Structure 1
């Protein structure tokens, strides 16, 4: 049986002509038969790609052979089938949308929080002088988060800078930031340092690496991922489910996209309500003329609009 891998990675490293690199890199990925989503910016790469184990190994070896990307820490999952249908590689102004584009203020290549390996994060997280800070969006931490973590009411990472004042009460604490794969923490921790937080750390490799190396202890719920799996298990030590169905309130770990493509909101819904609501988040969406056929997965390959545009802003498409 063919084994497939899904790779999650990022790298802050200067790319002289990011737009041309994106075009060339897309051809390279397609030549390997990979599927996935990659964002390229002059500041680096952010991607999730999927393919056969051999193709993924060639991809990782090729990037590691380039001095610009030699330090990439790939998070590798074995999957039953590719996690994407198509291959996209797009050039953008940032590899994760934050609005923090002034390299004289925020530059992850020069200054970020101290990187904590998962075992060190595990050892520190319950200390009295520590605050665990989730820098992800609402729909992500509603599905799963670290026990006792501080979460922020944000719909997108670009809203994070506006929340700094709400975090001022923790300036005398050690701040341990975390996200899915680590990329958001690079800029979040750098911004916290810039704003006067003196003792800032970040979970190296994010939730995904933590789960692989520590068993995911005290990560409650599931971890949202940016591919057709939508979520993955993290905790094999003391797992619990913390998310609830949007419609009935029953505990459920299942996250889906609303079947109305003009909504397409990511939300948690139990199977019973999924059947009753045709995979929609509301009665209005269920009655929408463009409603897609709900097949029980709640994942749709072709979406006319970016996620949550109609309701709550755009969700980042490529990896973390």
Structure 2
């Protein structure tokens, strides 16, 4: 019986008080017997939590009460067991490391496109302007090997810090195409899309909510395999249940 609620969420928002927030959020999560990881940085928050439905939603209600986080809407899935061993709250230099300090998502996002629009574009083979559409996987190679969009561009990067150079090496291949960058939950493809825009690619979008939101809204259309997740579940299928492939 699936009694454990798993959530993931992030937001790029200026957090000069990240160190103080760490203490508050750790105490709050522990009081609710939650486990998982919360990353804080001056650029924002990234969280993965699991526990009873009541406890997880109670935590999010308190987090949403902070005006800076009022619009965070986590992606949810259920499991039979707690996939995390402990509760960690860390302050880092970046909530997703790219090592490219000029990228500041909190100052303005790249345009996002929702799951149903991506599905429609892939169904018809072009965007609404008739431009060819390509999907670009911004995840690490071992994650891609669990599953990805059919025909997705995969540069076989070993870590996200390699993405900027990979883009510069392959930029010419993306000219005059509509590029939809994607990742697990949206955080990496958001930074990637901003970097691509700044590199001069005009028609770039991020997949809103990443693969997990796509599974929730569009199922496995145009996608083969599962989606790797960084906890003991390892991979999720299109129905957001644990994949055993």
> Fold-level match, TM-score > 0.5?
yes
Given that 1:46 and 1:95 are in contact with CA atoms closer than 8 Å, whether structure 2 keeps it comes out as yes
1:107 Cα deviation after fit:
1.6
Tell me if structure 1 keeps the 8 A contact 2:216–2:238.
Answer: yes
Residue 108 (structure 1) aligns with: 105
Is the 1:2–1:52 Cα contact (8 Å) retained in structure 2? no
Q: Please tell me whether the aligned partners of residues 218 and 235 of structure 1 are also in contact (alpha carbons under 8 angstroms).
A: no
**2:222 pairs with 1:225:** no
Q: Does 1:161 align with 2:144?
A: no
Residue number in structure 2 paired with 1:119: 116
Structure with the larger strand share: 2
Q: Which residue of structure 2 lines up, in the alignment, with residue 152 of structure 1?
A: 155
Give me the whole-angstrom Cα distance separating, in 1, the residues matched to 2:56 and 2:118.
29
* Residue equivalent to 1:52: 52
SS in 2 for 1:164: helix
Aligned 8 A contact 1:220 1:235 in 2: no
CA distance in 2, matches of 1:146, 1:235: 16
Q: Tell whether the 8 Å contact from 2:2 to 2:78 is kept in structure 1 after alignment.
A: no
Structure-2 residue corresponding to 1:289: none
Question: Which structure 1 segments of 5+ residues have no match?
Answer: 242-251, 254-320
Name the counterpart of 2:5.
5
TM-score by length of 1: 0.71
Matched residue of 2:107: which SS? coil
Match for residue 16 of structure 2? 16
Match of 1:143 among 143, 146, 164: 146
Question: Which stretches in structure 2 are left out of the alignment for 5+ residues?
Answer: none
- Verify: 1:28 aligned to 2:28, yes or no: yes
CA distance, structure 1, for counterparts of residue 8 and residue 185 of structure 2: 7
- Quote the Cα distance in structure 2 between the aligned partners of 1:218 and 1:2: 28
- Could you say which residue in structure 2 is the equivalent of 1:185? 189
Q: Distance in 1 between matches of 2:195 and 2:153?
A: 17
Q: Which residue of 211, 217, 222 corresponds with 1:213?
A: 217
Report Cα offsets for 1:259-282 as digits up to 9, x if no partner: xxxxxxxxxxxxxxxxxxxxxxxx
RMSD: 1.8
Greater Cα radius of gyration, structure 1 or 2: 1
**What displacement does 1:11 show?**
0.8
Map of 1:176 onto structure 2: 180
CA deviation after TM superposition for structure 1 residue 47, in Å:
1.2
Task: Compare relative contact order (CA 8 Å, sep 6+) and give the higher one, 1 or 2.
Answer: 2
* Cα distance per residue 1:184-218 (max 9 Å; x no partner): 01110000000000011111011001101111212
d(CA) in 2 for partners of 1:63 and 1:120?
30
Normalised by the size of structure 2, how large is the TM-score? 0.91
Cα distance per residue 1:120-176 (max 9 Å; x no partner): 111113326111100000000011100010011211111101112213221211111
Q: Secondary structure at the match of 1:155?
A: coil
Q: CA deviation at 1:20?
A: 2.0
Runs of 4+ in 1 over 6 A off after TM superposition: none
> CA shift at 1:2, angstroms?
7.8
> Who is 1:247 aligned against?
none
